[in-house]
């Protein structure tokens, strides 16, 4: 694994992560990979529910090994007043607070943004929720899948006339997390350059999804057009689709004008490549069914590898539909450090995704493995100035673990 030779991009930034499961912790994970000191507050006992999601090894989800690397775990019972005070004390010394509870939760604990900013005027507060901190839906429960539906994505992820399907991963949560990280970085920059004040970043799951829906609303506004599900095709852009081969599927994006001509030449359809009405995208869209049929007729008798090799030689963008096995065995992933071998605190080794984006001077790193519940409680509380006797007393009252 490559190591940074200069201080990490976010070295010196302290983050308190109070979220759980996916959106908030993914934001914390991203900041931690670039050097932020991320202290995760989780409930004593079971901790973050993500520890027990999907496939488990040695009692812990392997997903956890990715989501919580580079973090320190402090187990505090936030339902108790003394636990809430400990959290406030931690936040007082922090640069960033991440939370993804239902709106009103922090306020009920005496940690509203106004109260926290009185303690720490420079605090940047990232709040991720289903519907945002305002509006008529703010109090409704919301998960990423609901955000995907309300944001317009689920309506498009289907074959025409069939049930909408999920993307396959928690894309709504991840999009919200990444928007949150962008907001944190802008707020930190503003704090540094324009006077030292913190602010609140309000990210709603459905709005993060909606933000990447491209022309959905402008087309409805201008033409009354409601974009519908189109399977693997890209409506209004042609040709761009998935085509069956003898051993799988290949995605072909031949929608550039010169690319289209090279594609047609490769599949033996120079007649289509030379057709005047197919010289631009608008003409190709009008005849997309015919073009798709021609490409399908060419791919269906060949393997994915044969198709990929010919299209690569013709400089036509094409891609195999990768499985986890394909990714793990691909030399390009390995060459770019996108598959890393990571030790766990149970003595195992697991391969995990690498770090994105790639920074030339201050690349992200994996500095520490994902913690057990409360691994760092004592160390963090000592840094706050608590004595061993005070820590023991808190543990006796089951406020900490």
The set of catalytic residues is 173
Dihedral (CA of 295, 296, 297, 302) sign? positive
SS (H, E, C) 148-167: HHHCCCCCCCCCCCCCCCCC
Q: Largest Cα–Cα distance of the chain, in whole Å?
A: 85
């Amino acid at each position: 694994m490559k190591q940074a030779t200069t201080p990490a991009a976010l070295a010196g930034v302290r983050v308190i992560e109070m979220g759980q499961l996916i959106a908030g912790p993914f934001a914390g994970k991203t900041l931690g990979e670039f050097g932020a000191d991320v202290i995760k507050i989780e409930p004593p006992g079971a901790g973050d529910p993500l520890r027990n999601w999907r496939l488990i090894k040695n009692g812990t989800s392997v997903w956890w090994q990715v989501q919580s690397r580079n973090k320190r775990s402090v187990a505090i019972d936030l339902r108790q007043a003394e636990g809430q005070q400990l959290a406030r004390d931690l936040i007082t010394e922090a640069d960033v607070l991440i939370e993804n509870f239902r709106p009103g939760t922090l306020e009920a604990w005496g940690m509203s943004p106004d109260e926290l900013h009185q303690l720490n005027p420079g605090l940047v507060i990232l709040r991720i929720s289903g519907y945002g901190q305002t509006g008529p839906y703010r109090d409704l429960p919301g998960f990423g899948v609901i955000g995907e539906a309300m944001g317009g994505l689920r309506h498009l992820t289907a074959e025409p006339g069939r049930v909408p399907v999920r993307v396959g991963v928690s894309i709504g949560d991840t999009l919200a997390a990444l928007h949150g990280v962008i907001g944190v970085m802008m707020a930190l920059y503003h704090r540094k350059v324009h006077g030292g004040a913190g602010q609140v970043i309000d990210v709603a799951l459905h709005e993060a999804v909606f933000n990447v829906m491209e022309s959905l609303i402008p087309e409805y506004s201008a033409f009354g057009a409601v974009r519908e599900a189109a399977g693997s095709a890209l409506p209004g852009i042609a040709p761009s689709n998935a085509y069956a081969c003898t051993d799988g599927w290949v995605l072909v994006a031949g929608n550039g004008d010169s690319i289209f001509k090279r594609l047609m030449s490769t599949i033996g359809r120079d007649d289509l490549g030379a057709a005047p009405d197919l010289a631009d995208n608008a003409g190709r869209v009008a005849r997309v069914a015919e073009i798709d049929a021609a490409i399908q007729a060419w791919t269906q008798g060949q393997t994915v590898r044969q198709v990929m090799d010919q299209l690569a030689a013709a400089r036509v963008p094409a891609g195999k539909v990768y499985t986890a096995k394909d990714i793990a065995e691909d030399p390009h992933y390995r060459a770019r450090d996108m598959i890393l071998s990571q030790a766990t605190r149970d003595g195992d080794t697991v391969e995990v995704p690498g770090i994105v984006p790639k920074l030339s001077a201050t690349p992200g790193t994996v500095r520490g493995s994902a913690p057990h519940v409360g691994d760092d409680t004592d160390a963090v509380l000592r840094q706050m100035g608590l004595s061993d006797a005070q820590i023991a007393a808190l543990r006796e009252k089951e406020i900490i673990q």
